[in-house]
Amino acid sequence: MRRRLSAAVWLPLLLVSCQSWSRAPAGGDDRTQEGLNAVLWVQTAAEYEAAAEQAFRLATLQLDAALAPGNAAWTASLEQGSDTRDLPPAVVLDVDEVVLDSSRFQARLVEERVGFRLEDWNAWVREAGAAAVPGALGFVRHAEAKGVRIFYVTNRGEEVEAATRRNLEALGFPVDDGGENLLTRNERTGWGSDKGSRRRFIAADHRIVLLVGDDLNDFVSGSRVQPGSRVELARRWRAHWGTKWIVLPNPMYGSWERSLYGFERELSRDERLRRKQEKLEPPD
């Protein structure tokens, strides 16, 4: 018998499974519109804003708990060493769909009926026009007031770090003068798309008291596996959800979606859709 997941685990997983499907006739351009409902939910739904505010309100409560007397050993990072008592506290946040709302770029893909291309993404990032995710700025300011160091760990490439910094600063998010608290992909040797190496880098000098993200990779390494294995990985750390790990909903994209077609980026759109639809579980 399948074990029942706690609400702290199944609710975020349910939210990120809400990507829309378009059953257009074979060969129709509308097959590129599979993300339409997902983007509209993020951009227009009161429920999305409520979910984001709720996540950061919970993050605030858990941050205060982590900083309470007697919790000097509290750490959220699996990469953290055992002795954290003398380390200053830090919070680690992802950027896209956690701190910055990049749904306008996703809307552009839907409108133009094209797939993701890195050059298009980098051009969007250089516009530095992303808005703040609801609740994010208030949480970061609360953490700063408590003397907590803020780190942003993003899979945006190092080639767009300066633009990312401009965007964050324009919205009021704290970024170091040299950008030392903004850790981008490939900024250093070994800092690939798996974020474990960057969490380990931060954990060497800080006690990471909270992780905030929208993707399993923001919390634990090894998420590039098939969907069932990702769920098992999330279950393994169920005690962390809602306590040390705070997840925001992102139905638009992520490793959850890429796992549906085996992370094979070179597949045709038709083949990706076919593999994804195979994962549906309709009633018998």
Q: What is the DSSP string of 174-220?
A: ---TT-TTEEEETSSTT--SSTHHHHHHHHTTSEEEEEEESSGGGT-
Taking the C-alpha atoms of residue 49 and residue 52, their distance in angstroms, rounded to an integer, is 5
Residue 1 belongs to some domain of the structure = no
Residue 284 lies in a domain: no
Please give the tally of structural domains in the chain: 1
Give the tokens for residue 3: 């074990």
- On whether the CB atoms of residues 132 and 192 are closer than 8 A, the answer is no
> Regarding beta strands 182-185 and 207-213, do their DSSP bridges make them parallel or antiparallel, or are they unpaired?
unpaired
* Cα Rg of the chain, angstroms: 19
Report how far Cα 273 is from the mean position of its chain's Cα atoms: 23
Positions of E strands within the chain: 89-93, 100-101, 131-132, 149-157, 182-185, 207-213, 245-247
User: In this structure, is residue 283 part of a structural domain?
Assistant: no
For residue 209, which of 85, 35, 51, 45 has the smallest C-alpha distance? 85
Phi, psi of 237 (to 5 degrees): -115, 35
Compute the C-alpha angle 64/65/66, nearest 5°: 90
CB 183 within 8 A of CB 153: yes
Tokens of 199: 């969490």
Residue 62 lies in a domain: yes
CA neighbor of 33 nearest in space, from 43, 42, 23, 41: 23
The CA angle 93-105-41, to the nearest 5 degrees, is 80
- 207-213 and 245-247 as β-strands: parallel, antiparallel, unpaired? parallel
Contact 16, 256 (CB under 8 A): yes
Whether this model's pTM surpasses 0.85: yes
What pLDDT sits at residue 27?
36
CB atoms within 10 A of CB 136: 25
- Give one word for 283, left, alpha or beta, with left for phi > 0 and alpha for psi -120 to 50: beta
pLDDT at residue 96, as a whole number: 98
Task: List the pLDDT tens digit at each of the 284 positions of the chain.
Answer: 444 444 444 444 444 444 433 333 333 344 457 899 999 999 999 999 999 999 999 999 999 999 999 998 999 999 998 888 789 999 999 999 999 999 999 999 999 988 899 999 999 999 999 999 999 999 999 999 999 999 999 999 999 999 999 999 999 999 999 899 999 999 999 999 999 999 999 999 999 999 999 999 999 999 999 999 999 999 999 999 999 999 999 999 999 999 999 999 889 989 999 999 999 999 98
How far apart CA 182 and CA 179 sit, in angstroms, is: 5
CA-to-CA separations, 129 to 8, 165, 166, in angstroms, rounded: 32, 11, 9
> Can you give the pLDDT at residue 277?
93
Residue 142 within a domain:
yes
Residue 2 belongs to a domain: no
Domain of residue 178, residue span: 7-278
CATH assignment at residue 133 = 3.40.50.1000
Please tell me the predicted confidence (pLDDT) of residue 265: 86
